[in-house]
Amino acid sequence: MPQDTLNQDFATILVFLVFGALFVIANMVLVGRLIRSKTKYTEGKSTVYECGEPTFGSAFVRFDIRFYVLAVVFAIFDVEVVFLFPWAAVMKSLGPVAWLEAAAFVGVLGVGLAYIWRKGDIDWIPAHGHTRQAGKTLPGELTTVPTDGVPAATIPAIATPAVAEAR
Amino acid sequence: MGVQIAFWLFAILVAGTALYAAVAPKIVHAAFSLMATFFGVAGIYAILGSDFLAVTQVLVYVGGIMVLIVFGVLLTDRVPEEYKVVAPRRWLPALIAGGLCFAAIAGALKSTVWPISSSTPLGDATSTVEGIGRSLLTDYLIPFEFASILLLVVLVGAARLARGQVR
Amino acid sequence: MLPQVTTAHYIVLSALLFAIGLFGVVTRKNVVVILMGLELMLNAANLAFVAFSRHHGNLQGQVFTFFVIAVAAAEAAVALSILMALFRLKGSVTLDDATELKG
């Protein structure tokens, strides 16, 4: 068993993490206690904003499923980037063969990007302006969005997926 | 000495947050506890001298998979009063299964004679990125290219499944 | 003075992580949390791979872990997409609501 040695760079990061955490905790618990005003707790203090827009409903509202598709796209290309890091480290020493291998890798994923693009999953602005109407669910949306008693009409119009009847 | 302190710090972090993720009544809490577990595992990788895997762990698990899981929680979780996720009847079998599993590994560990490695230790002075890159592009070229095909299939399939209807 | 950290320490930690993950998978009913338990078990296996890679002084274990991480990301993406489909169908993601095929 080789002797473990903590990599210097990671040791630095660890020191920063520990001191960062200590700094936050010390300021919140100790310094904050000395500085903050001694007024009593009131109902108003627990609201999100002490002034401005009153909030309504629960924060546990489900949101549009399109965000999930974007998250999948992000996760996949995240993995692709991670695969390219070791390639980049040895690219020069392995020569043009390594370049071709990585090109094949990226090319295959490029097909995926083309598919996603073609299907409109990464379109942010819908192809034809189309806003949410009360009581109407849109394609691609979960049908059971809880609005906590708030009529659907009060939900601000949200840009909706580029519906692809056109395609 | 520093290595020992770092190991026990991260071991306690990993075990504690993993346990909380497994028993937390609120799913969101379990998700964020799991994020701390992933960070802790990255720390253990760093102690083990595999700097590249530590970074990969943070990038893919904390950056990608956690985002997916949090999206999954937010998109499918019910309103807070319906948090009844733990099945009390299954505690006993689960404890037995988990305990047996742990006991089996620990027992095997105890009866194993550890061969002492004569090879040179890893990652003491240099980074492991070059070594991994070289392996990926030579010995493990086929898995490397197949990984991109896997990612392509996942990208198309997951987007299609999440979208929910044929476009 | 703390004792020297050996490979056995890492393997015990890995076994503990695996047992916790298994416990979570068996006890929980929500599919998202079951997926989290699976990720814990994958991490436990990865930890063992890296520890043994260190022990034997070669990189194969780390390369394997690298592929496992990539496959875990793919698995999470597909699993959660299936979950979305299940949720769309059933309106919930607890296992008890998906028992159509039960004999």
- Does residue B15 surpass a pLDDT of 80? yes
The pLDDT tens digits for B140-158 are 999 999 999 999 999 999 9
Identify the domain boundary among B55, B80, B105. Answer: B80
- Whole-number pLDDT of residue A126: 52
Two tokens at A113?
A: 């990007």
Task: Indicate yes or no: CB of B72 within 8 angstroms of CB of C32.
Answer: yes
In terms of residue numbers, what domain contains B29?
1-80
Mean per-residue pLDDT for A41-50? 70
Domain span including residue C82: 7-93
- Residue B157 domain flag: yes
Three-class SS of residue A60? coil
Query: In which band, very low, low, confident or very high, does the pLDDT at B36 lie, cut at 50, 70 and 90?
Result: very high
pLDDT value of residue A127: 42
Helix (H) / strand (E) element for B95: namely helix B91-110
pLDDT at A1: 40
ipTM of the complex: 0.89
Interchain contact B128–C (C-beta under 8 A): yes
**What is the average pLDDT across A9-36?**
86
Residues 52-111 of A with CB under 8 A from C: 65, 68, 72, 75-76, 78-79, 82-83
Asked whether the predicted pLDDT for residue A40 surpasses 70, the reply is yes
Contact A75, C73 (CB under 8 A): yes
Asked if the structure places residue B53 within a domain, the reply is: yes
B2 and B56, same domain (yes or no): yes
- Per-residue pLDDT reduced to its tens digit, C11-46: 899 999 999 999 988 888 788 889 999 999 999 999
* Record: contact A68-B134, CB cut-off 8 A: no
Higher pLDDT, B84 or C46: C46
Domain membership flag for residue B121: no
Asked if residue B59 is part of any domain, the answer here is: yes
Nearest CA in chain C to B86: C28
Q: Kindly report, residue by residue over B89-126, the tens digit of the pLDDT.
A: 677 888 888 888 888 888 888 787 776 554 444 445 46
| Separation of alpha carbons C97 and C88, rounded Å | 12
Output the six-digit token pair for C98. 């998906």
Mean pLDDT, range A41-47, rounded to an integer: 72
Q: Is C89 on the interface with B (CB under 8 A)?
A: no
Two structure tokens written together for A127: 């192809």
Residue owning tokens 């990189």: C59
Kindly state whether residue B108 falls inside one of the protein's structural domains.
no
The token pair that represents A31 in the structure block:
């310094």
Q: From the CA of A55, how many Å to the nearest CA of chain C?
A: 27
The Cα of A166 is separated from the nearest Cα of chain C by a number of Å equal to 24
* The model's pTM: 0.79
**pLDDT score at B118:** 45
Structurally, chain B folds into a number of domains equal to 2
**pLDDT the model gives residue B126:** 64
> Pick from B91, B70, B97: which is nearest to C18 by CA?
B97
Considering chain A, what percentage of its residues have pLDDT values greater than 70? 57
pLDDT at B119: 45
Number of domains in chain C: 1
Query: Which residues are CB-contacts of B127 (< 8 A; sequence separation ≥ 6)?
Result: A89, B51, B52
Nearest to B152 among A60, A108, A140 (CB): A108
Position A150 scores a pLDDT of 46
Rg (CA), chain C: 17
Collect all residues of chain B within an 8 Å Cβ-Cβ radius of residue C77.
68, 154-155, 158
Regarding whether B63 and B6 lie in a shared domain, the answer is yes
Q: Tell me if B60 is assigned to some domain.
A: yes
What CATH number corresponds to the domain at position B23? Answer: 1.20.120.1200
Q: Is residue C99 part of a domain?
A: no
Q: Identify the CATH number of the domain in which residue C51 sits.
A: 1.10.287.3510
